[in-house]
């Protein structure tokens, strides 16, 4: 009886509240980073420290592979390697491997059960070969308000069952100061489904820079994102997460840091950009950064004092190099409007120096049902023209009247919304959707 009482007492003590290990909760993510055809970085955050394990496989009921990172903590960063290109993988994050299919029902895994719901992603296709590609573009989204939610919901309805292959953040991703709490509310709680299924590729904005520093690569922005510094996702190694490039199918994406990094014509970012442009052989080159080369919205690219001259620098110093390298599309935010140019080239001064006959390579609306799509040679050609798009209203549009009269633009709208890029072989289709679900602009570029 005495032994029985002691065993019962011990069992009751072990089951008493507070004596059993507390269950961890995933409070952020999972989210996907630095996608390549053969690898993926999976990140998440837990409220308590634990091990970092990702179980994955080719079917939801066959998570036969496990990847982990060393140590324990609340910030989990695990790289999955030796993946197959263009392949869908199912995965679960947690602190222990998922039991293999042969494990008998009711038997626990060695380290206990994994601690998250099932997710999936599809690896990028082999580099170079064309594949239909959908890109979602969000400029200045992080307002945490009903407009941001409406813009998100409109895109979700628009894309439907069509997967988003990747998405771009053009800066000012989390207002007002880019703090960890700002990012939690503005990004991680607003876009959970997209984050765990599609890799996100961000640029730094001025509001993000309130809590981050590109020179030291420190602060919230650099803590949150894992970006390629060694050219592992395509392109030339930049050595910094402030600016980088990556490939997806037959497109090459270049992210520049218009906020903090040296914008000197002989600076490191410029030297890297020239090398990266020279190295790529992709059919499409898409550049994106925060501060627009042209705008007459909530910011004015003609005013030297606006944004401390950053817009001037990106237009006068970096745009000529991008155009010489054959850029097809330039995406920016910062100005909380939508502005879209014709196919243009060679305009590096203030708006009063714009000359349509000299700077427009092809007029018209760029639409198959309108004046005709824009056309460019497939062979990389210097200064063949690009379309410049300011799409900085994914979180809000201006509540005040704005000029919207820069002569470089075919169309300017003071409306909230986001943009969609569809690349299908040698055709690029671009769409702007406002927060009401209206298709407000569209154009196409075809490589001959």
Average pLDDT over residues 376-395: 97
The CB-based long-range contact list for 238-242 (8 Å cut-off, 24+ gap) reads 238/272, 238/276, 239/268, 239/272, 240/214, 240/268, 241/217, 242/204, 242/214, 242/217, 242/269
CA-to-CA separations, 160 to 165, 199, 200, 277, 442, in angstroms, rounded: 13, 18, 19, 34, 19
CA dist 155 and 148 (Å) reads 11
For the ranges 21-35, 93-107, 346-360, 411-425, the lowest mean pLDDT is seen at 93-107
Task: Return the structure tokens found at 422.
Answer: 């569809």
Architecture of the CATH domain 133-447: 4-Layer Sandwich (3.60)
What residues have CB less than 8 Å from 203, skipping those under 6 apart?
Answer: 168, 169, 170, 171, 255, 256, 257, 258, 288, 289, 290
**What's the full length of the chain, in residues?**
448
Task: Return the structure tokens found at 222.
Answer: 């650099």
CB 40 within 8 A of CB 120: no
Average pLDDT over residues 51-78: 96
CA dist 1 and 6 (Å) reads 9
CA dist 122 and 120 (Å) reads 7
Query: Which pLDDT score, from 0 to 100, does residue 100 have?
Result: 64
Structure confidence by residue, pLDDT tens digits, 246-255: 999 999 999 9
Query: Which pLDDT score, from 0 to 100, does residue 272 have?
Result: 98
Q: Could you tell me what percentage of the chain is helix, strand and coil, using 3-state DSSP and rounding each to the nearest 5? A: 20, 35, 45
Q: Does residue 406 surpass a pLDDT of 70? A: yes
What residues have CB less than 8 Å from 243, skipping those under 6 apart?
Answer: 254, 255, 256, 257, 261, 269, 272, 273
Percent of residues, the chain, with pLDDT higher than 70: 91
Structure confidence by residue, pLDDT tens digits, 183-215: 999 999 999 999 999 999 999 999 999 999 999
The per-residue pLDDT of the chain, averaged, comes to 93
Q: What is the pTM of this model?
A: 0.93
CA dist 398 and 197 (Å) reads 32
Domain ranges of the chain: 24-122, 133-447
Average pLDDT over residues 37-46: 98
Could you say which DSSP state residue 307 is in?
Answer: G
Architecture of the CATH domain 24-122: Sandwich (2.60)
């Amino acid at each position: 009886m005495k032994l029985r009482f002691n065993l019962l007492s011990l069992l009751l003590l072990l089951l008493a509240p507070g004596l059993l290990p507390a269950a961890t909760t995933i409070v952020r993510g999972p989210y996907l980073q630095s996608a390549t055809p053969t690898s993926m970085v999976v990140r998440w955050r837990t409220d308590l420290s634990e091990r970092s394990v990702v179980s994955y496989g080719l079917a939801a009921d066959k998570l036969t592979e496990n990847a982990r990172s060393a140590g324990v903590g609340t910030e989990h960063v695990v790289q999955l390697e030796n993946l197959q290109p263009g392949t869908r993988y199912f995965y679960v994050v947690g602190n222990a491997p998922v039991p293999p299919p042969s494990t008998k029902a009711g038997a626990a895994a060695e380290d206990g059960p994994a601690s998250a719901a099932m997710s999936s992603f599809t690896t990028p296709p082999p580099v170079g070969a064309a594949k239909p590609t959908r890109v979602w573009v969000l400029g200045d989204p992080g307002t945490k308000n009903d407009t941001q939610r409406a813009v998100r919901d409109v895109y979700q309805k628009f894309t439907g069952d069509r997967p988003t292959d990747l998405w771009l953040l053009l800066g000012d991703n989390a207002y007002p100061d880019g703090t960890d709490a700002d990012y939690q509310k503005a990004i991680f709680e607003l876009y959970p489904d997209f984050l765990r299924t599609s890799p996100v590729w961000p640029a730094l904005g001025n509001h993000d820079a309130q809590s981050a520093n590109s020179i030291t690569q420190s602060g919230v922005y650099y803590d949150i994102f894992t970006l390629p510094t060694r050219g592992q996702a395509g392109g030339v190694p930049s050595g910094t997460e402030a600016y980088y490039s990556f490939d997806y199918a037959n497109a090459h994406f270049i992210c520049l840091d218009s906020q903090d990094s040296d914008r000197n014509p002989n600076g490191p970012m410029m030297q890297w950009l020239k090398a990266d442009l020279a190295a790529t052989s992709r059919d499409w080159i898409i550049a994106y950064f925060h501060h627009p080369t042209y705008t007459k919205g909530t910011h004015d690219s003609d005013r030297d004092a606006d944004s401390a001259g950053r817009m001037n620098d990106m237009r006068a110093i970096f745009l000529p190099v991008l155009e010489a390298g054959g850029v097809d599309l330039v995406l920016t935010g910062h100005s909380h409007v939508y502005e879209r140019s014709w196919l243009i080239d060679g305009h590096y001064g203030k708006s009063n120096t714009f000359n349509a006959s000299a700077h427009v390579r092809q007029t018209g609306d760029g639409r198959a049902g309108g004046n005709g799509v824009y056309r460019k040679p497939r062979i990389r050609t210097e200064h063949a023209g690009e379309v410049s798009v300011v799409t900085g209203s994914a979180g809000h549009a201006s509540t005040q009247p704005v000029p919207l009269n820069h002569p470089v633009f075919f169309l300017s709208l003071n409306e909230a919304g986001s943009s969609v890029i569809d690349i299908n072989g040698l055709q690029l289709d671009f769409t702007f959707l406002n927060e009401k679900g209206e298709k407000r602009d569209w154009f196409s570029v075809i490589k001959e």
